[in-house]
């Protein structure tokens, strides 16, 4: 029949042919079924683009082309969504292949640096982590690794338990500050900003701020990773003093 000539071999519609006037235009390809994973992925996309304040149930639903009510079959509320987002992001943090207690400080620093970099790459996700206790499998694998590493090195159990909390705060606070700093300097003028800060400090009244004005360049020396590594190293030196006590 003539109608069959508007199709290529295999039955697919030939895009070169005009549409038959009385046929309905084909609809766009159906969306993937809504799922918790899809909702979490959408939330992270919004987080990365707009920050945590942009992550609302309405905004996530809009991203997925659905209504907010449809999300509640998969996540209870925004708090649960944010917890799930944090858990998924924590899965991006790599761990050393095996613990080496003789290098425990180096390995703790390695994990902390990796965590700080992952969290900083996701804007202000650490606002979810701050004030919460690790519960998901991805977060717990990091806590278990660090806890085991410190215990194997001889850090007392109670000290190591509290150290987990302290390291988490260091990571969260530094990653959040880094994200805010990046937002402030979104135009890429970090060097210019630091030059202005250095000049400002150098010109402070020397009689009132003798050290700050004299050491202006020293105060702004070092990148974010270098400064974070220093903070963790200071923490670990103190922690080391508990071994054998």
Q: Are residues 116 and 154 in the same domain?
A: yes
Residue 232 has pLDDT above 50, yes or no: yes
Q: Are residues 136 and 179 in the same domain?
A: yes
Domain range for 75: 36-90
In a domain, 11, yes or no: no
In a domain, 15, yes or no: no
Q: Are residues 229 and 135 in the same domain?
A: yes
CA dihedral 164, 169, 175, 177 (to 10 degrees): -160
pLDDT in tens, 98-152: 999 999 999 999 999 999 999 999 999 999 999 889 999 999 999 999 999 999 9
In a domain, 24, yes or no: no
Q: What is the mean pLDDT of residues 71-96?
A: 95
**Taking Cα atoms as reference points, which of 18, 25, 67, 59 lies closest to residue 42?**
59
Residue 228 has pLDDT above 90, yes or no: yes
In a domain, 4, yes or no: no
Tokens of 175: 């990653």
Q: Are residues 199 and 124 in the same domain?
A: yes
pLDDT band at 24 (very low <50, low <70, confident <90, very high): low
Query: Residue 79 belongs to a domain with what CATH number?
Result: 1.10.10.60
Give the up-direction half-sphere exposure of residue 225: CA atoms within 13 A in the CB hemisphere: 9
Q: Are residues 75 and 108 in the same domain?
A: no
pLDDT band at 15 (very low <50, low <70, confident <90, very high): low
Q: Using the CB atoms, write b or e for 28-55: b if 16+ within 10 Å.
A: eeeeeebeeebbbbbbbebbeeebbeeb
pLDDT in tens, 79-88: 999 999 999 9
Q: Are residues 163 and 222 in the same domain?
A: yes
pLDDT in tens, 155-201: 999 999 999 999 999 999 999 988 887 777 765 567 788 889 999 99
The pTM assigned to this predicted structure is: 0.81
Q: Are residues 70 and 183 in the same domain?
A: no
Q: Are residues 174 and 82 in the same domain?
A: no
């Amino acid at each position: 029949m003539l109608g069959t000539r508007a199709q290529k071999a295999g039955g697919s519609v030939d895009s070169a042919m005009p549409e038959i006037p009385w046929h309905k235009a084909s609809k766009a390809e159906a969306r993937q079924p809504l799922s918790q994973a899809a909702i979490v992925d959408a939330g992270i996309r919004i987080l990365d683009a707009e920050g945590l304040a942009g992550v609302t149930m309405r905004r996530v639903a809009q991203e997925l082309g659905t209504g907010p009510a449809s999300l509640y079959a998969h996540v209870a509320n925004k708090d649960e969504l944010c917890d799930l987002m944090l858990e998924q992001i924590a899965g991006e943090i790599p761990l050393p292949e095996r613990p080496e207690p003789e290098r425990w400080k180096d390995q703790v620093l390695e994990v902390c640096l990796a965590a700080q970099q992952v969290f900083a790459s996701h804007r202000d996700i650490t606002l979810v982590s701050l004030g919460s206790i690790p519960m998901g499998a991805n977060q717990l694998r990091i806590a278990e690794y660090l806890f085991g590493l410190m215990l194997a090195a001889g850090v007392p159990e109670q000290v190591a338990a509290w150290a987990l909390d302290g390291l988490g705060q260091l990571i969260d606070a530094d990653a959040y500050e880094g994200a805010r700093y990046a937002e402030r300097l979104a135009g890429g003028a970090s060097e210019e900003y630091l030059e202005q800060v250095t000049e400002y400090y150098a010109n402070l009244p020397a009689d009132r701020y003798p050290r700050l004005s004299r050491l202006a360049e020293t105060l702004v020396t070092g990148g974010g990773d270098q400064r974070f590594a220093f903070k963790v190293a200071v923490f670990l030196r103190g922690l080391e003093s508990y071994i054998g006590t």
